[in-house]
């Protein structure tokens, strides 16, 4: 079993409050969850109103499938925020772990 994960850091420059950032987070996380079968959550910078850190996790028996799916999710999220002028993607960190019986 392979666990593939990514941590995406976005800048929400226009946000004036945590409420503004929550609107971006809610929209992005909900749309991603609806489109993909993946775990998605805010995982950091919870007190910063202009920084949004999202974690994504995929579990699969096939490493290539997990990697392709994760890359597709990242492209979707980047397109979603940039197309709608919601945020700018600053950093992507990826990792993989093999769980062997």
* Structural domain boundaries in the chain: 2-98
> CA dist 56 to 1, 15, 23, 82, 89, Å?
17, 23, 18, 19, 14
How confident is the model at residue 60, as a pLDDT?
87
How confident is the model at residue 101, as a pLDDT?
66
Reported pTM:
0.86
How confident is the model at residue 86, as a pLDDT?
85
Judge: domain 2-98, CATH 3.30.70.1120.
yes
How confident is the model at residue 47, as a pLDDT?
82
- Which phi and psi angles does 73 have, rounded to 5°? -65, -45
- Which phi and psi angles does 49 have, rounded to 5°? -80, -10
Stretches where the chain sits below pLDDT 50 are: none
How confident is the model at residue 8, as a pLDDT?
96
């Amino acid at each position: 079993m392979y666990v593939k994960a990514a941590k995406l850091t976005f800048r929400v420059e226009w946000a004036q409050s945590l409420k503004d950032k929550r609107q971006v987070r809610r929209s992005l996380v909900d749309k991603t969850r609806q489109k993909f079968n993946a775990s998605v959550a805010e995982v950091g910078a919870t007190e910063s109103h202009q920084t949004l850190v999202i974690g994504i996790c995929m579990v699969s028996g096939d490493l290539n499938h997990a990697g392709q799916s994760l890359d597709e999710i990242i492209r979707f999220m980047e397109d979603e925020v940039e197309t709608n002028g919601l945020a700018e993607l600053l950093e992507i960190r990826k990792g993989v772990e093999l769980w062997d019986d």
